Amino acid sequence: MGILRTAAEGGAEGGMKGSHASSRPPPLDSKMATVDYDSSADPEMDLTSDEELEREAEGFKEQGNVYYVKKDYAEAFNFYTKAIDLCPKNASYYGNRAATLMMLSRYREALEDSQQAVRLDDTFMKGHMREGKCHLLLGNAMAATRCFQKVQELEPESSQVQQELKNAESILEFERLAEISFEKRDFRMVVFCMDRALESASACHRFKVLKAECLALLGRYPEAQSVASDILRMDSTNGDALYVRGLCLYYEDCIDKAVQFFVQALRMAPDHEKARLACRNAKALKAKKEEGNKAFKEGSFEEAYDLYSEALTIDPNNIKTNAKLYCNRATVGSKLNKLEQAIEDCTKAIKLDETYIKAYLRRAQCYMDTEQYEEAVRDYEKVYQTEKTKEHKNLLKNAQLELKKSKRKDYYKVLGVDKNATEDEIKKAYRKRALMHHPDRHSGASAEVQKEEEKKFKEVGEAFTVLSDPKKKSRYDSGHDLEDDDMNMVSLNLFPSFFVFVFVFCTAASGPGNFFFQFG
């Protein structure tokens, strides 16, 4: 609103200065017609010429005022320029054109006109005010303060200048706080400070670039890109904006495109240290990542693991690239059977990028491999909620099945055999475990031990009853409940048919409780 108010004052300013009643010289006498008369040397003719120029310039200024009131600022600018061309030492014309340029958001040009106006007339209060406003809009609060203080000297009672001085003071405070916050890496506070400063300094590219840089560092890339692009539309050579564009691409793992912007920024501003460092990091990160990928493809897993680890130290701020590096290292870790480390790397990747589906899938597989089925189901559910593909649905169902199976008695563990054990291996394991836990073998033990061994003996019978029957084993392996088959408990009297226990108690020779198995 301050801009509009100040500019509006310019449209009507500057009455006709130095206008005099024009008196043309009398017609020449016919007798003098043959006289060689040098009109340029006649002071009266010079005066008449100056007065005509002033009148014509004043006419252009009045036409400019009319267009200004109509808000046709382009035409107003043209007429004020014509007035200036005729009378380049009239401060009010520059003041009017400055007001028009401000309405056209051409603040740097408006600043130049305001400065020219006060150079011509140091008491031109509106010229000082407009210069201060331009400085403020462009983010130079110190220069703006000096201009407003001059206005205060010329017009001590001005309430407007008091408000502008407060605005300048606020900008300086927000700048100070932003600088401290940036050093502390409190980028959200920097964005807040720049938003507040831009309320009064809306044309300040420096504030906009700092805001965009911090948005990029916060991972808010579309917002950062938008701010930088707006600046580049107005100034395609702005090295800071080019750097921010590159930074966004770099953090989105578009490293080749990012390098192009960094190089362009360095062409525009060869001393741009941030662009130079970012360019160096981008190239180093890309090279190290590609080395790791090559080693992995060649089967050099230990080397690939080390290369990915080195790449992770290059730039902690590059969230997306580092998330991919952690996931890549997790893949290598799973190949090296470092499953817990792989799970940890996937977790780090997900912490950096919560939308990283590949990291969820990798971690879920590691959970499956370590029989942490509940965790695997949780990750697969997250994946399926995000991408409802047939493949993800099948992975989730498989994890849910393994979880369900894990909650039952593990008959393979009861017999101490692998899930791929042969029929003969299952029989041998059963004989060994049945002998180990048979109640008669523990008849001399305490009641508590006897009870525990009896329980284990029954579980061994259950396990063998299921795993020795192809149909039941198939149902068990596929996760079906076997309660309907009445197999939760097996009577001690129902031993498998392929052998018979014959207990011979040799109380005389060997003492009570001793026995042996005779296999038939």
Task: Output the pTM of the full model.
Answer: 0.65
At 22, the amino acid letter reads S
Residue 2 lies in a domain: no
Least confident of 112-116, 375-379, 418-422: 418-422
CA–CA separation, 274 and 210 (whole Å): 12
> pLDDT-derived band of residue 483, with 50, 70 and 90 as boundaries?
low
pLDDT attached to residue 19:
35
Q: Write phi, then psi, for 30 (nearest 5 degrees).
A: -60, -25
Is residue 519 classed exposed, middle or buried when 0-12, 13-18 and 19+ CB atoms within 10 A define those classes?
exposed
pLDDT at 22: 35
The last residue of a domain, from among 386, 407, 428 = 407
H helices of 318-446, in order, are 319-335, 339-352, 357-369, 373-386, 390-406, 411-415, 423-437
d(CA 241, CA 293): 33
Would residue 516 count as lying in a domain? Answer: no
Q: Same structural domain for residues 343 and 423? A: no
Question: Which 3 state secondary structure label does DSSP give 367?
Answer: helix
Better pLDDT: 204 or 24 = 204
Number of structural domains the chain divides into: 4
- Domain match, 362 and 461 both: no
Residues 287 and 367 placed together within one structural domain of the fold: yes
Question: Do residues 158 and 71 both lie within one domain?
Answer: yes
Question: What is the pLDDT at residue 427?
Answer: 86
Q: Examine the domain organization and report whether 368 and 296 are in the same domain.
A: yes
Q: Convert the pLDDT of each residue in 62-93 to its tens digit.
A: 999 999 999 999 999 999 999 999 999 999 99
How confident is the model at residue 481, as a pLDDT?
63
Query: What count of other Cβ atoms lies within 10 Å of the Cβ of residue 166?
Result: 12
Q: Same domain, yes or no, for 318 and 435?
A: no
The pLDDT of 262-270, averaged and rounded, is 96
* pLDDT score for 41: 45
CATH number at residue 463: 1.10.287.110
Question: Do 396 and 418 sit in the same domain of this protein?
Answer: no
Domain that holds residue 420: 411-479
- Report yes or no on 91 lying in a domain: yes
338 CB-near residues (< 8 Å, 6+ apart): none
Q: In the numeric block, which tokens belong to residue 278? A: 């970012």
Tell me whether residue 188 is in a domain: no
388 lies in the same domain as 313: yes
Give the mean pLDDT of the chain.
84
- Do 139 and 96 lie in a common domain? yes
On whether residue 185 sits in a domain, the answer given is no
Report DSSP state, residue 491: -
Interval 271-286: pLDDT, tens:
999 999 999 999 999 9
Tell me the pLDDT tens digit for each residue of 407-466: 877 788 888 888 888 888 888 888 888 888 888 888 888 888 888 888 888 878 888 888
Q: Of 389, 407, 425, which residue is a domain's last? A: 407
pLDDT (tens digit per residue) in 163-181: 999 999 999 999 999 999 9
Q: Cα separation of 432 and 154, whole Å?
A: 109
Domain membership flag for residue 246: yes
63 and 168 within one domain: yes
Residue 198 DSSP class = H
Same domain, 166 and 137: yes
Name the domain boundary from 172, 188, 213: 172
Whether the CB-CB separation of 270 and 286 falls below 8 Å is answered with: no
Cα–Cα distances in angstroms (integers) from residue 123 to residues 81, 95, 445, in the given order: 22, 12, 114
In a domain, 59, yes or no: yes
439 shares a domain with 393: no
Whole-Å CA distances, 142 to 160, 168, 196, 233: 18, 7, 17, 27
Q: CATH number, domain at 118?
A: 1.25.40.10
CA angle 221, 223, 225 (to 5 degrees): 65
Residue 322 lies in a domain: yes
pLDDT tens profile 307-335: 999 999 999 889 889 999 999 999 999 99
Residue 153, pLDDT > 60, answer yes
